[in-house]
Amino acid sequence: MKTTKKEKFKTSIGGQALIEGVMMRGPSLLAIAVRDPVGEIQVETQPVRRNPVARVPILRGIVSFVDSLLVGYRALMRSAEISMTEEELAEEESRFDRWMREHLGEKAMNIMMTASALLGGVLAIVLFMVLPTFLTGLLDRVVALGFLRSVVEGLIKLALFVLYLFAISRMKEVSRLFRYHGAEHKTIATYEAGEPLTVENVRPSSRFHPRCGTSFLLLVLIISILVFSLVPWSSTLGRAGLKLLLLPLVMGLSYEVIKFAGRHDNALTRIISAPGLWLQRLTTAEPDDGMIEVAIASVKAVLPKEGEDDRW
């Protein structure tokens, strides 16, 4: 029977699932742990760069989101390199990628990876921020929505997000990624409970965690509905443009809210966390013991050194 272990403290350590692995970011180190084709766990670490705006409310949320997007994408690509055989990598790599690597080198490839990560973020913005506005505008031409336009727009936005997560969770590769996501959460929960990081201790922990990227994205959507309800509907195109301009503010506010919810445990924060925890039923799954071993290796690599503080 699955149990939820009582937290002794809340840690700032967190990360994301990778291809056959887990990335974790600690107070001073970032680590990726990936199981290679022969079954060994490969662990790589690098220093965490401190950002001068990390203590500035609102701004830190914007910077954190962009940084997580870029760092996470690079870690995902690195996990593919470690977990795949040379033959599999050759099949995955396009002719264009090979040409770029051979003629322009690794620096150009890193630039391309960064551009791809940013493009992915732009496409997500278009899908979940801009498209609902245009769909609502089209619907309003058929049925006069009046003051309900913002409500309908918000419902379309949430429906698209949930349907998107449900659809990708049915994919075999993504389903396995979500099992590593569950391993990540379970390991953090065990660490926060003050228990030794062993497979036996991690296995019964809950795979749902309030300080999760899924919860953050859902919170961004919910807060955007509230903020964007104040944006006028003078024109569908104008509203979409204003929403894009306000998006950094929404991200910053969302970060502050989830940080507050993560640091406190009361009726209000449980209400704030509830939708994200429910949505994690789609983005996490029960891991096997091998996946838990990888997550443990990643967490252990970034545990605070003597004198460091990893409290959230």
Q: What is the distance, to the nearest Å, from the Cα of residue 210 to the centroid of all Cα atoms in its chain?
A: 12
Domain that includes residue 53, residue range: 14-82+125-301
Is 189 part of any domain?
yes
Sole residue written with tokens 């929505």 = 145
- Token representation of residue 187: 């390991």
User: What's the pLDDT score for residue 287?
Assistant: 97
Distance CA 251, CA 66 (A): 10
Helix axes of 149-169 and 172-192: crossing angle, nearest 10 degrees: 100
Distance CA 19, CA 268 (A): 36
Q: What is the pTM of this model?
A: 0.85
User: What's the pLDDT score for residue 256?
Assistant: 92
Is 172 part of any domain?
yes
Is 110 part of any domain?
no
The number of distinct structural domains making up the chain is 1
User: What's the pLDDT score for residue 99?
Assistant: 43
Is 283 part of any domain?
yes
* Residue 14, beta-bridge partner list: 25
β-strands 41-47, 14-18 pairing: unpaired
User: What's the pLDDT score for residue 297?
Assistant: 98
Is 312 part of any domain?
no
User: What's the pLDDT score for residue 275?
Assistant: 93
Is 115 part of any domain?
no
Is 31 part of any domain?
yes
User: What's the pLDDT score for residue 100?
Assistant: 46
User: What's the pLDDT score for residue 17?
Assistant: 96
User: What's the pLDDT score for residue 2?
Assistant: 53
Is 23 part of any domain?
yes
Alpha helices (runs of H) in the chain, residue ranges in sequence order: 59-83, 86-92, 95-125, 131-142, 149-169, 172-192, 199-202, 213-228, 236-263, 267-283, 289-302
User: What's the pLDDT score for residue 308?
Assistant: 82
Q: pLDDT tens per residue, the chain (312 residues)?
A: 455 677 788 898 999 999 999 999 999 999 999 999 999 999 999 999 877 887 888 899 888 888 888 899 889 989 999 998 777 666 665 544 554 455 455 555 556 556 665 566 667 766 777 888 889 988 988 888 887 888 898 899 999 999 999 999 999 889 999 999 999 999 999 999 999 999 999 999 999 998 898 888 899 889 988 888 888 877 877 888 888 889 899 999 999 998 888 788 889 989 999 999 999 999 999 999 999 999 999 999 999 987 788 887
Residue 2 · residue 204 · CB < 8 Å: yes
